[in-house]
Amino acid sequence: MKRKDRQKPFSLEEQIEWIAVAFVLALTVRCFVVEAYQIPTGSMAPTLYGRHYQVTCEDCDSAFSLRLDEGVPLSLAFDCPVCGANLSESVARVRNRGGDRILVSKNLYMFRPPRRWDIFVFKSPEPGHENMNFVKRLIGMPGERIEIRNGRIFVDGLIARKPPRVQRALWQNVYDGLHESHAQDYWLTRGSWEVANKGLLLRDPSLGTQTVEFDRPILDDYAYNSGMGQNFVPDLWVGGHVRIETDNGEFSAALWADSDTWRATWRPAGFAVEVQLRLNERLLAERRVPDDGTSDFDFFLSSVDGLVEVGLNGSTAIELDTKITTDDTPLYTSACGVFFQGSGSQMLVSQIEIKRDTYFRADLARSDESLGRPFVAEVPENHYFGLGDNSPISRDSRQWGVIPEGNVLGKAFFVFWPIPRIGPVF
Ligand SMILES: [Zn+2]
Phi first, then psi: what are they for 49, rounded to 5°?
-100, 140
Q: Tell me if 20 is assigned to some domain.
A: no
Q: How far is the CA of 86 from the centre of ligand 1 (A)?
A: 8
Q: How far is the CA of 68 from the centre of ligand 1 (A)?
A: 20
pLDDT of residue 413: 94
pLDDT of residue 408: 96
Question: What's the CATH number where 329 sits?
Answer: 2.60.120.560
> Do both 266 and 161 map to the same domain?
no
> Do both 220 and 347 map to the same domain?
yes
Q: Which amino acid is at 347?
A: M
CA geometry: angle 346, 349, 353, nearest 5 deg: 165
Strand-strand pairing, 158-159 and 336-343: unpaired
Question: What's the CATH number where 151 sits?
Answer: 2.10.109.10
> Do both 333 and 197 map to the same domain?
yes
How many independent structural domains does the chain possess? Answer: 2
Q: How far is the CA of 186 from the centre of ligand 1 (A)?
A: 14
Q: How far is the CA of 140 from the centre of ligand 1 (A)?
A: 38
**Boundary of a domain, candidates 356, 387, 416:** 356
Q: Indicate the helix (H) or strand (E) that contains 140.
A: strand 133-140
Burial 132-159 (b: 16+ CB within 10 A, else e): ebbbbbbbbbeebebbbbbbbbbbeeeb
Q: How far is the CA of 216 from the centre of ligand 1 (A)?
A: 17
Q: How far is the CA of 81 from the centre of ligand 1 (A)?
A: 7
Q: 364: alpha, beta or left, given left = phi > 0 and alpha = psi -120 to 50?
A: alpha
> Do both 417 and 274 map to the same domain?
no
pLDDT of residue 96: 85
Q: Tell me if 210 is assigned to some domain.
A: yes
Q: What is the pLDDT along the chain (426 residues), one digit of tens a residue?
A: 444 445 566 788 888 888 888 888 776 665 568 889 999 888 999 999 998 888 888 888 888 888 876 656 677 777 787 787 888 766 778 888 889 999 999 988 988 999 999 999 999 999 888 889 999 999 999 999 999 999 999 999 999 999 999 999 999 989 988 777 788 889 999 889 999 888 999 999 999 999 999 999 999 988 788 767 889 999 999 999 999 998 889 999 999 999 999 999 999 998 999 999 999 999 999 999 998 878 999 999 999 999 999 999 999 999 999 999 999 999 889 999 999 999 999 999 999 999 999 999 987 655 556 666 789 999 999 999 999 999 988 999 999 999 999 999 999 999 999 888 899 999
Q: How far is the CA of 158 from the centre of ligand 1 (A)?
A: 40
> Do both 163 and 176 map to the same domain?
no
Q: How far is the CA of 90 from the centre of ligand 1 (A)?
A: 9
pLDDT of residue 213: 97
Residues in the chain: 426
Q: Which amino acid is at 138?
A: L
> Do both 149 and 192 map to the same domain?
no
> Do both 279 and 366 map to the same domain?
no
| Residue 146 DSSP one-character state | E
> Do both 302 and 315 map to the same domain?
yes
> Do both 309 and 223 map to the same domain?
yes
Evaluate if pTM is beyond 0.85.
Answer: yes
Q: How far is the CA of 224 from the centre of ligand 1 (A)?
A: 14
Contact 306, 323 (CB under 8 A): yes
Q: Tell me if 70 is assigned to some domain.
A: no
- In the three-class reduction of DSSP (H, G, I as helix; E, B as strand; rest coil), residue 278 is classed as strand
pLDDT of residue 409: 94
> Do both 344 and 310 map to the same domain?
yes
Cβ neighbours of 277 (radius 10 Å): 22
- In the three-class reduction of DSSP (H, G, I as helix; E, B as strand; rest coil), residue 353 is classed as strand
Strand-strand pairing, 296-304 and 282-290: unpaired
Q: Tell me if 337 is assigned to some domain.
A: yes
Comparing CA positions, the residue from 67, 121, 133 lying closest to residue 413 is: 121
Q: Tell me if 3 is assigned to some domain.
A: no
Half-sphere exposure of 13 (CA within 13 A, CB side): 0
Q: How far is the CA of 27 from the centre of ligand 1 (A)?
A: 48
> Do both 257 and 149 map to the same domain?
no
**Boundary of a domain, candidates 335, 356, 377:** 356
Phi first, then psi: what are they for 29, rounded to 5°?
-65, -45
**Boundary of a domain, candidates 356, 378, 413:** 356
Q: How far apart are CA 153 and CA 147, in angstroms?
A: 6
Q: How far is the CA of 225 from the centre of ligand 1 (A)?
A: 16
Q: Tell me if 408 is assigned to some domain.
A: yes
- Domain assignment of residue 373, given as a range: 101-167+361-424
> Do both 239 and 352 map to the same domain?
yes
First-to-final CA distance of the chain = 54
Q: How far is the CA of 194 from the centre of ligand 1 (A)?
A: 22
Q: Tell me if 63 is assigned to some domain.
A: no
**Beta bridge pairs of residue 112:** none
Contact 295, 232 (CB under 8 A): no
Q: Tell me if 95 is assigned to some domain.
A: no
